Amino acid sequence: MPHAHPRPATGPAAQVDAWLSDFEHALTTRDVERAAELFGDVSYWRDLIAFTWNITTVEGRDGVRDLLRATLEVTGPHGFAASEEPTEADGTTTALIEFETAVGRGRGVVRLRDGRAFTLLTTLYELTGHEEPMSERRPRGAEHGVRPGRQTWLEQRTAEFSELGRTRQPYVLVVGGGQGGIALAARLRQLDVPTVVVDRNPRPGDTWRNRYKSLCLHDPVWIDHLPYLDFPANWPVFSPKDKIADWLEMYVRVMEINYWGSTTCRRAGYDPTTGAWEVVVERDGEELTLRPQHLVLATGMSGRPNIPDVPGRDRFRGDQHHSSEHPGPDAYRGRKAVIIGSNNSAHDIAAALWEAGADVTMVQRSSTLVVRSETLMELAHGRLYSERALAAGITTHKADTLVASMPFRTLPDVQKPIWDAIRERDAGFYARLERAGFLLDFGEDETGLGLKYLRRGSGYYIDVGASELIADGRVRLARGGVRELTEDSVVLTDGTALPADVVVHATGYGSMTGWAAELISQQVADTVGKVWGHGSGTTNDPGPWEGEQRNMWKPTRQEGLWFQGGNLAQARYYSLCLALQLKARQVGIPTPVYRLPEVHHRS
């Protein structure tokens, strides 16, 4: 098939133009075989709802063929072009691209090796005819001219807020008003999808406010922007929890989100005959039933405290609480504190207790990935998210697109050298920690924090100071499982008794699937299956390989049920995907889902 052979081309720009032109020709002539031939032997095509109305990655030419056979006719892709000057490094040419489909506009990234695609990212960012009212399309605010009986902006907002959920049903109900829920709600408002967000806490930001007082974001500011409104240039690198809480509260107001605080979601059920949910909520003590078409659980990976059922918990006479309910150190000066767990919260709480003059022991139950915050910023984030990146023209949007463009299968090879460098750079630090008895890991395949996060969402500490306390023994370290609690101590499996006035269970959180079981039913939870992880076959992320975060931001096996979550960066980036999927359904754009995943795991 000589026509499928990539044209010779010199220079990155010419190479990319030639490839895009061949690709477009293959697509517009519906020549699946030719399109597949444009991909390398080892190749990946990641699609975010542009072709597949799903978030999915196919591999190799067979994968490309399969995807295109299922989606090409409906998608009608065309207009492929590089959106800025392509670059070349180490034999790989990288280009940011744009294109259109029958229903919208897309962006993406293609990486070419030897003239064929190594990776392709395609993402839909806008539905034709439903463009967001922004910039040159921004609303007028004041309608000029005279209109008897007109309502002011405030009157309209007030009316909408009081009607929605009472005399008018929202199209989408978002349960959980943290960054994930409100980022999605902001997108949906822009897209004119009637949405209500409910949260059990009174004020937006309370999920942050209510945490232990020393909490700061561990990701630096450049990664943390919410949609539409960047943090200002005077915002701190690491947001203190109360400051980020204020920002979220402000964001809800500025983005005109219909946010119901002090509202607890009691139960939800889907009625397949009406295609709507019936969701019972308690709002300021009043029970209300909402009937949205779509239910989004944005309850967070850290929404359901998990305390292992250790014998003797009811016998212990001191204070004990889950890390999410830790009140801060002030009451524990001179007291004995035992912290069970060794991830972020455990370390933060240990350091704050030590600073306040408590006698602190941390119980490490299993190995932990530790990385110094400075090192992480410089070696892992800095290239894409930093002042340096901004100065080099890498906007947050561009960085997000580049991150999204790396298929999950390729991430270990990309990450491992970075983590080798991190370990080398901080070798002395790690040696001191190990000498103190701390059990370190860098992921089962030594690929570091990012992958550990994407696989299991836990198992690490980004060091902002506590590790030195452990290294020099100021915070004592104990290792092993917890056998029981007595009246005044924590007893480990080896029999060691740790005297305790306060026990902090920094033992992590239950799964998002658990929320589905609790709010809807075990049956629906089982239908949906595991949420998060991508089938890497490592601890807490069993295979088979899925290649995308399970059930996140995309259709699930339960009609009308969606999961939104992740860190601020994911809340920002994937909220657009999810919002567009909901908008398309609202306005009746066909959304045939390619390859809805099989369910292999129940929680």
**Which is nearer to its own copies, 32 or 362 (by Cβ)?**
362
> Can you list the pairs that 553-556 forms with residues at least 24 positions away whose Cβ atoms lie under 8 Å?
553/55, 553/577, 553/578, 554/49, 554/54, 554/55, 554/56, 554/578, 554/581, 555/53, 555/54, 555/581, 555/593, 555/596, 556/528
Q: Which is nearer to its own copies, 225 or 534 (CB)?
A: 225
Q: Confirm or reject binding of residue 436 to its own copies (CB under 8 A).
A: no
What is the spatial distance between Cα 113 and Cα 287, in angstroms, rounded to a whole number? 60
* Cα angle value 141/142/144 (rounded, 5°): 140
Of 357-376, binders to its own copies (CB under 8 A) are 357, 373-374
Least distance from its own copies to the Cβ atom of residue 355, Å: 5
Instruction: For its own copies, give the closer residue by CB, 1 or 154.
Output: 154
| Interface pick for its own copies out of 23, 354, 430, 563 (rule CB under 8 A) | 354
Biggest CA pair distance of the chain? 82
Residue 244 CA to residue 273 CA, distance in Å, equals 42
Among 247, 332, 573, 574, binds its own copies (CB under 8 A): 247
Angle at which helices 241-254 and 179-190 cross, to 10°: 20
CB of 344 to its own copies, least distance (A): 12
Closest approach of its own copies to the CB of residue 154, in Å: 4
| Spatial separation of the C-alpha atoms in residues 436 and 467, rounded to whole Å | 10
Question: Which residue's CB is nearer to its own copies, number 207 or number 558?
Answer: 207
Among the candidate windows 114-122, 227-235, 302-310, 407-415, which touches its own copies by CB under 8 A? 227-235
**Among residues 292, 380, 308, 312, which one has the least CA distance to residue 340?**
308
Q: Which residue has the tokens 């090796």?
A: 113
Asked if 547 and 409 touch (Cβ cutoff 8 Å), the reply is: yes
Does residue 213 touch its own copies according to CB under 8 A?
Answer: yes
Q: Is 10 in the site for its own copies (CB under 8 A)?
A: no
Q: Is residue 152 part of the contact set for its own copies (CB under 8 A)?
A: yes
206 binds its own copies (CB under 8 A): no
Which structure tokens are listed for 573?
A: 């980036």
Interacting residue with its own copies among 28, 60, 105, 228 (CB under 8 A): 228
Q: Which is nearer to its own copies, 158 or 493 (CB)?
A: 158
Piece in contact with its own copies (CB under 8 A), picked from 151-159, 260-268, 361-369, 577-585:
151-159
Provide, rounded to whole angstroms, the least separation between the CB of residue 439 and its own copies. Answer: 22
Q: Which one among 129, 232, 393, 495 touches its own copies, defined by CB under 8 A?
A: 232
Alpha helices in 505-567 (DSSP H): 512-519, 522-528
- Contact with its own copies (CB under 8 A): which of 464, 587, 593, 599? 464
14-19 CB contacts, 8 Å cutoff, 24+ apart: 15/86, 15/93, 15/112, 15/115, 16/82, 16/86, 16/93, 16/95, 16/97, 16/110, 16/112, 17/82, 18/115, 19/110, 19/112, 19/115, 19/116, 19/117
Tell the smallest beta-carbon distance from residue 399 to its own copies (Å).
16
Cα of 269 vs its chain's centroid, Å: 26
| From 15-23, 232-240, 441-449, 451-459, span contacting its own copies (CB under 8 A) | 232-240
Is residue 342 at the binding interface for its own copies, with CB under 8 A as the rule?
Answer: no
The answer to whether residue 6 forms part of the interface with its own copies (CB under 8 A) is no
Tell whether residue 382 is a contact of its own copies (CB under 8 A). no
User: Which residues from 253-272 bind its own copies, rule CB under 8 A?
Assistant: 253-255
- What are the angstrom distances between the C-alpha of 452 and each of 75, 523, 548? 35, 29, 14
CA pair distance 163, 97, nearest whole angstrom: 43
Stretch of 83-91, 252-260, 297-305, 427-435 lying at the interface with its own copies (CB under 8 A): 252-260
- Residue 325 three-state SS: helix
In angstroms, what is the minimal distance from the CB of 461 to its own copies? 13
Q: Which of 255, 485 has the CB closer to its own copies?
A: 255
Distances in Å between the alpha carbon of 408 and those of 44, 67, 169, 443?
9, 18, 39, 15
Cα three-residue angle 352-354-356, rounded to 5 degrees: 70
153 near its own copies, judged by CB under 8 A: yes
510 lines the binding site for its own copies (CB under 8 A): no
Tokens 């949405």 — which residue?
A: 195
CB of 220 to its own copies, least distance (A): 9
**Residue 287 near residue 281, CB atoms below 8 Å:** yes
Task: Detail the DSSP E strand segments found in 203-275.
Answer: 259-260, 263-271
Question: C-beta of 197: minimal distance to its own copies in Å?
Answer: 18
Q: Which candidate, 124, 132, 104, places its Cα nearest to that of 192?
A: 132
**Span of 100-108, 408-416, 467-475, 508-516 interacting with its own copies by CB under 8 A:** 467-475
Closest CB 257 distance from its own copies, rounded Å: 12
Among 2, 149, 272, 334, the residue binding its own copies under the rule CB under 8 A is 149
Among the listed residues 48, 120, 248, 356, the single contact to its own copies using CB under 8 A:
356
Interior/surface letters 340-365, b for 16+ CB within 10 angstroms, e for the rest: bbbbbbbbbbbbbbbebebbbbbbbb
Determine the size of the site formed for its own copies (CB under 8 A): 61
Quote the least distance from Cβ 189 to its own copies, whole Å.
9
Question: With respect to its own copies, which residue has the nearer C-beta, 171 or 238?
Answer: 238
Can residue 155 be called a binding residue for its own copies (CB under 8 A)? yes
**Residue 50 near its own copies by CB under 8 A:** no
Report the C-alpha gap between 171 and 150 in whole angstroms.
Answer: 26
What does the binding site for its own copies look like in residue numbers (CB under 8 A)? 132-136, 138-142, 144-150, 152-155, 157, 190, 213-214, 216-217, 221, 228-229, 232-240, 242-243, 246-247, 250, 253-255, 351, 354-357, 373-374, 387, 464-466, 468-469, 474
